[in-house]
């Protein structure tokens, strides 16, 4: 019997999840059907209820419903609790299990696909929203020398830094700063987790942040050479990446959670990659 899964969002037509999970099912021999669900704003619970009643087994959750999914879940994994948001759900009887695999997907992309170890390195992450919050614990688990969160509203960065210090198992120094405080500082890995690339804007970032040999990584995918990546390139950075690997890796984590087998992501990443130029 074919098991049913879906991705829910608004808008939803742009989602690559059906392509990704259908490819995963083919290479792992899993019998699933994966579709897109457009939910009206304010109608998340109604659409999910109907999907569950019809036999749906699980869902990916995209904007703007990650907070709705957090409220809907009956059992929140630590990753979802830390992120304050949910991007994957699994339905078993009356239980709704919820995870957030974004941070794990990011770190796996950095370590395994890009061969960029984080241990002992200075890491800078731009933005203090949900993407950063979800990435903090997986990043810190890799024992960087330091993690700096920068945000236009400094208090948001400071709040996240305090939260990270409270929850992490290791003792990695974490700072929350404003952009002006970055002058003269250099980092080995610079991650853009702001929404600036969606609006073709450039974060107010001093070029000094890009250390020699730095990796500049934009969590947005499919936008080509974003203003952030262009700044990095013009500053001499040769290692540039967008979030397509993160997209594939978080999807693989969800697939493994649902089906008990983790698919290889190589072909999916190759298929979805857009040259950064």
User: Is position 66 annotated as part of the catalytic site?
Assistant: yes
Cα–Cα dist 113/265, whole Å: 9
Out of 16, 36, 66, 119, the active site residue is: 66
Distance, CA of 173 to CA of 140 (rounded, Å): 9
Q: Which of 116, 137, 138, 129 is closest to 85 using CA atoms? A: 129
Mind giving me the DSSP string for the chain? --EEEEEEESS-TT--HHHHHHHHHHHHT--EEEEEEE--TT-HHHHHHHHHHTT--EEEE-TT-HHHHHHH-SEE-HHHHHHT--SEEEEETTEEEEE--HHHHHHHIIIIIS----TT-EEEEE--SHHHHHHHHHHHTT--SEEEEE-SSHHHHHHHHHHHHHH-SS---EEEE-GGGGTT--EEEEEE-SSGGGTT------GGGEEEEEEEEES--SSSS-HHHHHHHHTT--EEEETHHHHHHHHHHHHHHHHS-PPP-HHHHHHH-----
- Active-site positions read 66
């Amino acid at each position: 019997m074919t098991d049913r899964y879906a991705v829910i969002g608004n808008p939803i037509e742009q989602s690559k999840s059906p392509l990704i999970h259908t490819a995963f099912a083919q290479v792992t021999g899993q019998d699933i059907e994966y579709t897109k669900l457009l939910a009206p704003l304010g109608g998340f619970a109604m659409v999910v209820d109907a999907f569950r009643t019809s036999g749906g087994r699980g869902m990916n959750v995209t904007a703007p419903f990650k907070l709705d999914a957090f409220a809907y879940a009956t059992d929140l994994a630590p990753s979802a609790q830390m992120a304050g948001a949910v991007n994957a759900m699994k339905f078993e009887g009356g239980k709704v299990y919820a995870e957030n695999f974004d941070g794990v997907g990011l770190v796996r992309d950095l370590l395994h696909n890009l061969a960029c170890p984080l241990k002992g390195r200075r890491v800078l992450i731009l933005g203090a929203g949900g993407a950063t919050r979800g990435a903090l614990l997986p990043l810190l688990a890799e024992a960087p020398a330091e993690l700096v969160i920068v945000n236009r509203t400094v208090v948001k960065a400071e709040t996240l830094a305090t939260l990270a210090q409270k929850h992490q198992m290791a003792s990695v120094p974490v700072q929350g700063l404003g952009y002006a405080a970055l002058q003269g500082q250099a980092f080995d890995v610079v991650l853009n987790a702001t929404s600036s690339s969606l609006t073709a804007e450039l974060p107010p970032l001093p070029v000094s942040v890009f250390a020699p040999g730095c990796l500049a990584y934009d969590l947005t995918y499919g936008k080509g050479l974003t203003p952030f990546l262009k700044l990095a390139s013009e500053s001499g950075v040769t290692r540039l990446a967008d979030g397509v690997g993160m997209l594939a890796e978080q999807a693989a984590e969800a697939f493994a959670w649902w089906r008990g087998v983790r698919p290889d992501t190589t072909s999916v990443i190759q298929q979805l990659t857009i040259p950064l130029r």
